[in-house]
Every structure is written in structure tokens, then in C-alpha cells.
Chain A
Amino acid sequence: MSAAAEPVTPEPVAPRVETPLRRFISQFMESRIAVGALVVFTIIVLLAVFAPWITPQNPYDLFQLDIMDGRMEPGTVGGAGFTYWLGTDDQGRDMLSGIIYGLRISLIVGAGSAFIAGIIGASLGMLAAYAGGKTDTVIMRLVDLQLSFPTILAALMILAFLGKGISNVVIALVIVEWAYYARTVRGSALVERRREYVEAAQCLALPTWRIIFVHLLPNCLPPLIVIGTIQVARAIALEATLSFLGLGVPITEPSLGLLIANGYEYMLSGKYWISFYPGIALLITIVSINLVGDHLRDVLNPRLQK
């Protein structure tokens, strides 16, 4: 925290050549694994964003599907004239195209829910730390209650109430995730609010919202970023799990989890690719995010600072 705190601290420091951002970047670059993971993740995001221009087939345009090509093994050339590198599913859908389109849904749901949960959680955590007293108690009780309940179950129940659908999955994920942000932000905000710069801001009679969002929040960012990164990966995994159980995204907008579920029944007859490859895609996505998050934690953790 202290690393990022310095530029905001009003006390005059001798000008440094090394800005925190630059130091952060150079520290991050030290780990080849983390950089590699970041590159992989960037490629995945690009694939998902430009899916319609990359995939040989629009997997949800029924006119492009040929039922005769159903359940073809990886590497077969289909009726449409291009090779199904990863095989096809039971409806003759190219798995590669299906996976890239599935990545889109998974990433949107994962990043979207982590982002919304981050805003809600960070605001509440900040409020709890700044207001203290009863507000703090109430918010933290809610957090405790939320965290004492396993995420998968909470999400399952919310979806059982709300029904399937992308927005419902996002709502469920936000409800189960906000508490992690709130707890983290409250923890670091409690430390930060005793610092001199906050006192100085209070002496200047700045409005509370300004102190919270302009002064306090930037200094609580490092742990928030770490939690946020890891929560994206968790959200993607959770969404996949829920979709696999048949409670997540609708069949018309299959994420990776639903693709895996679709292949389940064919696996026992040895047609592994329908489940296998979407799982690999899911795995690469989650691992790359986790590796980046893991290294971010090391870099941003003041206790491990050299």
C-alpha cells in the first residue's frame, strides 16, 4: 500500500525518477510466467472480441449448420468445405467456433459481475470503514453472513428464485461476490483513514464523498485490484459450474460451461471432444487470470516489498 500511497501524500518529497507505476510495471515484468499469462489472456480477450471475424462459422446461425456433420472427430473436413479442427457437436456445430463464441459469454459474465460487485462492495466497504459505528456493524454483519454461506449454494438458490438467463447469472454472481470486496476495502480503508493525508483533507473541510473517493479510494486500490482479478476468474468458473448444472445461461447463448454440459452425454460413448476442448479453453482462461492475479498480489503486497 505504501508504494501507491506516496504520490497522493501531500508532504513534499524529493522528485523521484521512478514513479510508482513504472516501478510496478518493471516489478511485474520480472516474472516471466506472469507476463506470459498476461499475453495469453490478452489473446483470449481479443479472440472473444473479434469472434465473428475469426471463426470459420457462426455457430448460432442455423443456416450454416449441417446436421450431417454432427459429432465429427477433430480434424475432419466437413460438408461446408473447411476442417473441423476440434470436431463438431451433435448438431454439426464447429466446436472451435462454438468455443470462441462461448468465451465471449463467459468473459462478459465474469468480468461484468466482478466489476459490478467491485463497485458495490468497494463502496460499502469504504462506507463501513469511514462511517464506523452502527453502519459498520450492519454492513460487516451482512458480509459475515454472506461469507459464511458457500458461494455455489447462494448462487444456486438465487438462480432457483430468478430462473435462467445471462442477467440473472450476473445478479447472482454480484450478490455472492460483493462481500469479498467490501471486506478487503474496509480492511485497507481502516488503516488508511488514520493517515495524515486524510486528516489534512478533513481539516480543509472537504466534502466526505470527496475524501472517500478522491483521497481514500486510490490508496485502497492495490488490494482491490488483486481481489478483482481473482474474482473475475472465480466468477467465470462459477458461471461455468452453474451453467453445467443447468441453472446458468440459457441454451441459446451457451457459455463454455454449457458446451461442456452438452458433451456430457456423449462422453460415455467415447466422443470426448465435445466436453474436452471447451474445458481446456476454460482452464487456460482461468489459469492465466489466476497467474496474473497471483503475481499482482506479490508485487502489490507492501509486506513483500523489497
Chain B
Amino acid sequence: MTLYLIRRLFQALLVMLAMSLIVFIGVYGIGDPVEILISPDADQAERARAVAALGLDLPLWQQYGVFLVRALQGDLGRSFVYNVPALQLILQRMPATLELAVGATVLAIVVGLPLGLYAGLKPDSIGGRSIMAGSILGFSLPSFWVGLMLIMVFAVQLGWLPSTGRGTTVEILGSRWSFLTRDGLAHMIMPAMNLALFKISLVIRLTRAGVREAMLMDYVKFARAKGLTNSRVIFVHVFKNILIPVVTVTGLEFGSTIAFSVVTESIFAWPGMGKLIIDSINVLDRPVIVAYLMMIVFMFIIINLVVDLTYTILDPRVRLESKAI
């Protein structure tokens, strides 16, 4: 176990290093922030001073070296635009994104599991079929468009929910959260729903497939033969087994939920990391882009690790050694 963990962490480090190189070259190789950040009226000397201050005059490999050394010290560069450390900027925006992603995940499980269970137990009933049709729709609906339509219906036409922003926030442990206030929750409903849509469909499909497969298994027949009640067979025996793929996928999806919040945050003007990265791409704020990507890669590696470990707890048959990143 320890050996496995060490090996996994070592692999993770390699991936981080490779990604940092790709990201760095990608972001720093193209586009010229000097044009954007320095006023066109500036004279030659002012420009040179600004370029030197930003460290953009060094050759690319040296810039990368400097970047790497600093990154190891937790310094991912200063935002060109806000002139604060990029990491700090991202961490500031993180609670907003996290609460949105967690909200969406909870919503996906709360809505998706029961629906999927029903569709799996009664695949040929009208209800089961409509749930499946709905899930296809959930996969197909372009989620940014759904977001717009949510705004149109609930904010513009009905006026029930606020259209954009985060609403009132409460400060806990130095970061601001909006799920604890009524106003904040009202602001959160639509973005969370929007972000959850795809995941609800995913959970429905996974649960349904799992239930259908499990119902044919010998252990279910045996449990029935023992005379257990239907609900005990389903909720104890079947449920335990279908939870494995659902947990894995929701876990893995958590990372992509955070990534996809880029879109949702842009629509609902939710001030999280996603909106920050889009704004940063538009003004070529390279340190923020790089820092954001490194954060995401880091997060993914952690998520993958946690999911794999959870997997082994849920299913002891999984051999740790056979799985890599």
C-alpha cells in the first residue's frame, strides 16, 4: 500500500512536470502580452523596463526555469493585470467555483440515483422509458443554451430567481460562501442546475445499467431465494454493487465539473475561477492561465488518486498494483 502510494505520487509528479512544460510553452510561446499590457504611447525605454520587470526579455527556457523554481516555492507568478500573485487570485475565486461544483454534484446524485434506479427496475415501463429519453436529452442539450433558457424563463419571464451574480455571501474561515444565505442560495439554484444537467443524465444511465446488470446476477437470485424482501435485495445487495461505478464516475466527473463551470460561470456571471480564466485568456494574462492550469492538473491527479483508493475500499477485488494514473 505504502509502496503503491509512493509510486503513484512519483508518477503524479512526472505528469505535473510534463503538463507544466506543455502549458508553459503553449501559453508563453504564442501571443505577446507586451502589446496588451503596455500602453501604445509608451516609449522604447518604458517598454524595455516593463518587459524586464515582467521577465519577458529572457529566453523561453530561462523563463521556464525561473517559473519552475518559483512554482516549487508556491509562487506561480504575478497576474499582469491585477498585479497580485496568480495563485492568490485563483484561490480567492475558488470557493465560488467549489460551492457551485459541490452543489451540482449533490443535485446530480439526489436526482439521478432514484431516477436511474426506477428506470433500471422497470426498463420497459412508460416512466422508465421517459427517464431514459430525458437522459438522452440531458446529454444532448447544449448546456450553455440551457443556461440561457433558464435565465429567460426564471429570471426574465417569471422573475422568480436572480439572473446573475453570487448574491449575499457569508465569510467563514476567511473565504466567502453564498450557500448559507437565502439570497445566495437563490443565486445558486440556476447555475447549479445548469452544471448538474449533464451529470444527472450520467448518473441515471450508470445506475440504470448497473441495476439491470445486477438484477440478473446469481447473488440477487440467491438473496431472493433466501426470502429477503424486495426492498432489502435492492437497497442493500444491488445498491452496494452499483455504487462502485457511480462513485467512480461522479468522483472523476467532479474535476470536469469544475472545468466545465467555465461555461456556467460565464453565463451567470458567477465570480469563480472559470470566469477568471476566460477573462484571463481574453487579455492574455499568462501567469493566471498557467497557474489555473497547474491547479486543475493538480486537482485531477488528486481526484484520480482518491477515486482509485475509494474503489479499492468498495471493491477489494481491485488490485492496487495493476492500476496506474
A residues neighboring B (CB under 8 Å): 144-145, 148-150, 152-153, 156-158, 160-163, 233, 237, 240-241, 244-247, 257, 260, 263-264, 267-268, 270, 272, 275-276, 279, 282-283, 286-287, 290-291, 294
Given that A244-B144, A244-B263, A279-B142 are known contacts, is A148 also in contact with B27, CB under 8 Å in the complex? no
Contacts A157-B23, A160-B289, A237-B142 given; indicate if A150 touches B260 (C-beta within 8 A): yes
Q: Which of A152, A158, A160: most chain B CB closer than 10 A?
A: A160
- Chain B contact residues: helix, strand, loop or mixed: helix
Decide: A233 and B140 in contact? CB cutoff 8 A.
yes
CA distance A233 to B262 in the complex (A): 20
Q: Which of B67-75, B99-107, B113-121, B293-301 contacts A (4 or more CB under 8 A)?
A: B293-301
Query: Which among A153, A270, A282 is the interface contact of B142 at CB below 8 angstroms?
Result: A282
Interface hits, B122-157 → A, CB 8 Å = 136-137, 139-145, 148-149, 151-152, 155-157
CA distance A280 to B296 in the complex (A): 33
The answer to whether A268 touches B142, judged by C-beta atoms less than 8 angstroms apart, is no
B289–A283 touching, CB < 8 Å: no
B217 at the interface (CB under 8 A from A): no
Q: Do A161 and B30 touch across chains, with their CB atoms under 8 A apart?
A: yes
Across the interface, A157 reaches (CB within 8 A) one of B18, B26, B263, namely: B26
Determine whether the beta carbon of B281 is less than 8 Å from that of A156.
Answer: yes
Most chain B Cβ neighbours within 10 Å, of A148, A264, A275: A148
Interface residues of B in 277-319 (CB under 8 A from A): 277-278, 281-282, 284, 289, 293, 296-297, 300, 304
CB neighbours of B18 from chain A (8 A): 145
B263 cross-chain contacts in A, Cβ below 8 A: 152, 241, 244-245
The answer to whether B145 touches A279 (Cβ under 8 A) is yes
Contact A260 B259 (CB under 8 A): no
A162→B30 contact, CB < 8 A:
yes
In the complex, 24 of the A-B residue pairs with CB atoms within 8 angstroms, ordered by the A residue number, are A144-B324, A144-B325, A145-B18, A149-B297, A150-B256, A150-B260, A150-B296, A152-B262, A153-B259, A157-B27, A157-B289, A160-B284, A160-B289, A240-B142, A241-B144, A245-B144, A245-B262, A246-B282, A268-B155, A272-B152, A276-B149, A276-B152, A283-B142, A290-B139
List chain B residues, Cβ under 8 A from A162. Answer: 30
Q: In the bound complex, what is the Cα–Cα distance between A35 and B77 (angstroms)?
A: 55
Known contacts A149-B297, A245-B262, A282-B142; decide if A294 and B136 are in contact (CB<8 Å): yes
- Name the A residues within 8 Å of B152 (CB-CB): 267, 272, 275-276
**New contact pairs (10) apart from A245-B144, A260-B144, CB-CB < 8 Å:** A145-B18, A148-B300, A157-B289, A161-B31, A240-B145, A245-B266, A246-B282, A268-B156, A279-B145, A290-B136
Report Cα–Cα, A98/B136, bound state, in Å: 27
B148 to A283, Cβ gap below 8 A? Answer: no
Contacts of A145 in B (CB 8 A): 15, 18-19
Q: Which of B31, B145, B266 contacts A283 (CB 8 A)?
A: B145
Closest to A247 in B: B281
B29–A161 CB distance below 8 A: yes
Rounded to whole angstroms, the CA-CA distance of A283 and B30 in the bound complex is 35
Distance (whole angstroms) from the CB of B206 to the closest CB of chain A: 15
Complex Cα distance, B296 from A183, in Å, reads: 23
**Given known A145-B15, A268-B163, A287-B136, contact A161–B27 (CB-CB < 8 A):** yes
In the complex formed, the residue of A with least CB distance to B284 is A160
Report the bound CA distance from A286 to B136 in whole Å: 10
Is A283's CB under 8 angstroms from B140's CB? yes
B26-A161 in contact (CB<8A): yes
How far is A240 from B18 in the complex, measured between Cα atoms in Å? 30
Closest to A243 in B: B144
- CB-CB under 8 A from A163, the residues of chain B are 30
Contacts of B149 in A (CB 8 A): 276, 279
Q: Is the CB of A148 within 8 A of B304?
A: yes
- Smallest distance from the beta carbon of A295 to chain B beta carbons, Å? 11
Interface centre among B18, B29, B148 (most CB of A within 10 A): B148
B112 at the interface (CB under 8 A from A): no
B324 proximity list for chain A (CB < 8 A): 144
Which residue of chain B is the closest to A278 with respect to CB atoms? B145
For residue B257, which residue of chain A has the nearest CB? A150
Which residues from A are CB-within-8-Å of B137? 287
Q: A237 CA to B29 CA in the complex, in Å?
A: 29
Chain B residue numbers with a CB within 8 Å of A148 are 300, 304, 325
Minimum C-beta distance from B318 to chain A (A) = 17
